[in-house]
Amino acid sequence: MVDRWRRYSYAAQKTRRYRLLWILLCFAGIYILYNSLTSFFFSFRILENNAMQPGFHAGDRIIFSSFLVHSLLLNFGPGDRPLPFRRGTVILVDMNGKRNGGSLVSLLDGFVRFFTAQRADLFGKEDHLYIKRVIGLPGDEITMTNFVIRVKPRGGSYGLTEFELSEKPYDITIPQVPALWDESLPFAGNTDRIILGEDECFVLSDDRSNTNDSRTWGPVQADLITGKAIFRYWPPGALGPP
């Protein structure tokens, strides 16, 4: 009787160990799949402010496609690389670029993001990841009047407003400018002519008041644009492509 109980106990323990191992392997598989998807294909972001109103608001949750695979497969030099976005596209700008460390640090960052449901990370991404809209592409000539951009595309003979050149319609918020507003101050509503370089883009917030964008940064390098918005999954009333 004792021998039978010992054999049963050993078999039961072995079954429990296999079950625990299977659970751990499934969890590891889900974790690896999650990190692969979010590193190479998709990124889930929460809009932390109202910089993109009236079309977007703080708390909106957006899925961005990643440009990492695109940049690896299409490794052309500046000016020759076909850009995976157009004028008017809502994009994700990483102002830290490629300075976030090696693969081990990135793996640890993915681990933290996985277990905090995207609410924490090692790099403090809220400080340097920005959701903006592409207004000008490399070679474009840019001018701004009363917070509205006019763009003359490379090789074009005349300029058009940003809305006429956008692939999708959108609205912007134009602030009420104080009477003593000095055009030398940041976030000005009027700018002199800017000609974008071979690998430069001009990005702006839809809310043209006091938000960081190319008016303070200047034109951004195209490789700092790491993804484009493809789907808004929250709030339910705004569900769909942005």
Residues 2-54 have pLDDT tens digits of 455 555 566 777 777 888 889 888 877 887 777 667 667 788 888 989 999 99
Tell whether 192 is covered by a domain. yes
Percent of the chain whose predicted confidence (pLDDT) is above 90: 39
pTM of the model: 0.75
For the chain, how many structural domains are there in total?
Answer: 2
Confidence of residue 60 (pLDDT cuts 50, 70, 90): very high
| pLDDT higher than threshold 90 for residue 101 | no
Q: Please give the Cα distance from 159 to 154 (Å, whole number).
A: 10
| pLDDT higher than threshold 80 for residue 71 | no
Are residues 130 and 59 both part of a single domain? yes
Are residues 94 and 171 both part of a single domain? yes
Are residues 61 and 81 both part of a single domain? yes
| pLDDT higher than threshold 70 for residue 78 | no
Are residues 74 and 137 both part of a single domain? yes
Residues 148-182 have pLDDT tens digits of 999 999 988 889 999 999 989 999 998 876 655 65
- pLDDT reported for residue 116: 62
Summary mean pLDDT of the chain: 79
Domain extent for 68: 41-98+124-238
Q: Looking at residue 206, which CATH number applies to its domain?
A: 2.10.109.10
Residues 120-134 have pLDDT tens digits of 665 554 557 899 999
Are residues 182 and 201 both part of a single domain? yes
Are residues 147 and 80 both part of a single domain? yes
Are residues 62 and 24 both part of a single domain? no
Tell whether 111 is covered by a domain. no
Residues 197-207 have pLDDT tens digits of 999 999 999 99
Are residues 182 and 88 both part of a single domain? yes
Q: How many CB atoms lie within 10 A of CB 212?
A: 15
Contacting residues for 183 by C-beta, under 8 A, at least 6 apart: 189, 190
Q: Please give the Cα distance from 239 to 241 (Å, whole number).
A: 7
Question: Are the C-beta atoms of 199 and 76 separated by less than 8 Å?
Answer: no
Are residues 46 and 22 both part of a single domain? no
Are residues 35 and 46 both part of a single domain? no
Contacting residues for 41 by C-beta, under 8 A, at least 6 apart: 65, 66, 69
Tell whether 117 is covered by a domain. no
Secondary structure E strands in 40-98: 42-46, 61-66, 90-94
Tell whether 106 is covered by a domain. no
Q: What is the mean pLDDT of residues 181-210?
A: 83
Q: Per mean pLDDT, which of 52-56, 77-81, 94-98, 222-226 is the most reliable?
A: 52-56
